[in-house]
């Protein structure tokens, strides 16, 4: 395949849909988790649930880094940004994530300077242009974005920049999946593995899922046919009594990942003893921080932060959505008090958030489109 249209061919999708239906055992319910928020958006943007039998259910996992950041870390960032010498930079999808006292836009209205950037290298440019200010980059993301942050720190060190630092919130996907597997709240038959993260870490780190938990995982691409093929591959494993890690996204994802990116992460960052995740609580060795040799670029060491754990609003059920326990439309405030314009929880803010996907693509109930559903 060469063009994106080939990955969206309706005739091929119907053929895959028929093969999926043929693999399903009558009377058995199947539940697969798409770990990545990008997959969630593809599923509902293209109506892929309507191509699946009624006994195949897809639930979403904690694969949206903006969604899993706890409110306390937002409060810490705003606390740093309120210092008169600080100019903070952030990716755009973080600007509206609510903390206990508002989001970054609200903070700017009160006098802070938090600018949106497209890359950590933009932050480095701002630091060069403003030598009198301390520029702090709000780093966030899984292993996908950690290499760019690490490379930026290496460049800052090489240039001898003394007014640039990183407020590091990079997290790791494997501990989160393990926390899901160890949770008694959810019974899963398999995983649609994240594509973007896997371009960095590869497929090998997922092998414990099949070996220790007996669950198949298929790393998937982000086009409609990618996801349908991945579901077919999962069902085929279950039909044949196998539990393996397979790579549907082999055109992009190497089995052993990107060794250069992994080496750069390892040079600049190290594992934290523990880190708080929204919905999952504290997970050990699940996030990254600056190594001691790069302490001069660690905003958590350079600036004092409250470090207070903040509970989510009582009406918000993002935690249950992130664990796959609830569908977004089952949340009490979904689509009413909580919308993309007035988000209460992070899942409605991020472009990768499950609630935003359901809201933007009109999935307000359990009902599927009968004409497209496989019978």
Which residue range(s) make up the domain with 194?
2-63+183-239
The answer on pLDDT for 1 being more than 60 is no
Does some domain include residue 335? Answer: yes
- Residue range 346-375: mean pLDDT, rounded: 73
Structure tokens of 241?
């009594």
Does some domain include residue 178? Answer: no
Does some domain include residue 296? Answer: yes
In which residue are the tokens 């085929």 written?
A: 236
CB 113 within 8 A of CB 81: yes
The answer on pLDDT for 22 being more than 70 is yes
The answer on pLDDT for 375 being more than 80 is no
Task: Specify which residues 33 forms β-bridges with.
Answer: 59, 191
pLDDT at 367: 59
Please, where are the H alpha helices in 285-369?
Answer: 299-302, 318-322, 354-360
Does some domain include residue 248? Answer: no
Same domain, 97 and 143: yes
The answer on pLDDT for 185 being more than 90 is no
- Encode pLDDT of 300-344 as tens digits: 999 999 988 888 888 888 888 888 888 898 998 999 999 988 888
- Residue range 175-202: mean pLDDT, rounded: 93
Lowest-pLDDT range of 74-83, 261-270, 293-302, 332-341: 332-341
- Residue range 30-48: mean pLDDT, rounded: 93
Domain termination residue (choose one: 213, 239, 265): 239
Same domain, 99 and 148: yes
Q: Give which of 194, 285, 175 is closest to 245, Cα–Cα.
A: 194
**pTM assigned to the model:** 0.91
The answer on pLDDT for 106 being more than 80 is yes
Computed over every residue of the chain, the mean pLDDT equals 92
Same domain, 281 and 350: no
pLDDT at 187: 87
Same domain, 136 and 189: no
Does some domain include residue 309? Answer: no
CB 361 within 8 A of CB 112: no
- Residue range 56-60: mean pLDDT, rounded: 93
* Euclidean distance between CA atoms 26 and 42, whole angstroms: 27
Same domain, 204 and 147: no
Domains in the chain, number: 3
Same domain, 103 and 152: yes
Residue 100: give its domain's CATH number: 3.40.50.11740
Which element (helix H / strand E) includes 146? Answer: helix 146-159
The answer on pLDDT for 371 being more than 50 is no
Same domain, 52 and 126: no
pLDDT at 369: 53
CB 193 within 8 A of CB 35: yes
pLDDT at 250: 96
Does some domain include residue 88? Answer: yes
Lowest-pLDDT range of 142-151, 200-209, 223-232, 302-311: 302-311
Does some domain include residue 251? Answer: no
Same domain, 190 and 110: no
Same domain, 132 and 200: no
Same domain, 120 and 169: yes
- Residue range 200-212: mean pLDDT, rounded: 97
DSSP string, 197-256: HHHHH-SGGGHHHHHHH---EEE--SSHHHHHHHHHHHHHHHHTT---EEETTTTT--TT
Residue 193: give its domain's CATH number: 3.40.50.11750
* Euclidean distance between CA atoms 251 and 265, whole angstroms: 24
pLDDT at 95: 94
Same domain, 368 and 331: yes
The answer on pLDDT for 373 being more than 90 is no
Does some domain include residue 245? Answer: no
The answer on pLDDT for 368 being more than 60 is no
Q: What percent of the chain has pLDDT over 90?
A: 76
Same domain, 164 and 39: no
* Euclidean distance between CA atoms 233 and 251, whole angstroms: 16
What is the DSSP secondary structure assignment for residue 41, as one 8-state letter?
A: H
Q: Phi, psi (5° rounding) for residue 261?
A: -65, -40
Q: Give which of 73, 72, 71, 78 is closest to 113, Cα–Cα.
A: 78
Higher confidence at residue 327 or residue 219?
A: 219
pLDDT at 366: 59
What is the DSSP secondary structure assignment for residue 25, as one 8-state letter?
A: P
The answer on pLDDT for 364 being more than 60 is yes
The answer on pLDDT for 259 being more than 90 is yes
* Euclidean distance between CA atoms 356 and 351, whole angstroms: 7
């Amino acid at each position: 395949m060469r063009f994106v249209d080939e990955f969206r061919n309706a005739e091929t999708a119907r053929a895959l849909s028929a093969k999926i239906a043929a693999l399903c055992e009558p009377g058995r319910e199947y539940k697969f988790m798409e770990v990545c928020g990008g997959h969630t958006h593809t599923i509902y943007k293209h109506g892929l649930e309507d191509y699946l039998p009624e006994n195949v259910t897809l639930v979403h996992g904690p694969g949206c880094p903006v969604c899993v950041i706890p409110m306390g870390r937002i409060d810490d960032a705003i606390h740093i940004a309120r210092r008169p010498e600080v100019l903070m930079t952030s990716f755009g999808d973080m600007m509206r994530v609510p903390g206990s006292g508002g989001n970054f836009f609200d903070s700017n209205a009160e006098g802070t300077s938090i600018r949106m950037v497209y890359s950590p290298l933009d932050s480095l440019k701002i630091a060069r242009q403003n030598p009198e200010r301390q520029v702090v980059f709000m780093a966030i993301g899984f292993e996908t974005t950690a290499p760019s942050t690490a490379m930026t720190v290496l460049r800052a060190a090489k240039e001898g920049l003394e007014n640039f630092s990183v407020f590091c919130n990079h997290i790791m996907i494997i501990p989160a999946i393990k926390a899901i597997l160890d949770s008694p709240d959810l019974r899963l038959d398999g995983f649609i593995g994240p594509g973007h993260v896997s371009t960095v870490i590869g497929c090998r780190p997922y092998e414990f899922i099949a070996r220790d938990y007996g669950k198949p995982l298929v790393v998937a691409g982000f086009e409609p046919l990618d996801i349908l093929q991945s579901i077919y591959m999962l069902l085929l494993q279950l039909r044949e009594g196998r539990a393996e890690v397979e790579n549907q996204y082999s055109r992009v994802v190497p089995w052993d990942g990107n060794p250069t990116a992994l080496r750069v992460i390892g040079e600049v960052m190290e594992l934290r003893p523990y880190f708080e995740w929204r919905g999952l609580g504290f997970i050990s060795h699940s996030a990254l921080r600056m190594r001691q040799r790069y302490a001069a670029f660690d905003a958590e060491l350079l600036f004092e932060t409250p470090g207070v754990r903040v509970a989510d609003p009582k009406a918000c059920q993002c935690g249950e959505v992130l664990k796959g326990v609830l569908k977004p439309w089952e949340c009490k405030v979904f689509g009413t008090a909580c919308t993309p314009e007035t988000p209460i929880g992070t899942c409605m803010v991020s472009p990768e958030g499950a609630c935003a996907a359901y809201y933007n693509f009109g999935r307000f109930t359990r009902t599927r489109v009968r004409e497209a559903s496989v019978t």
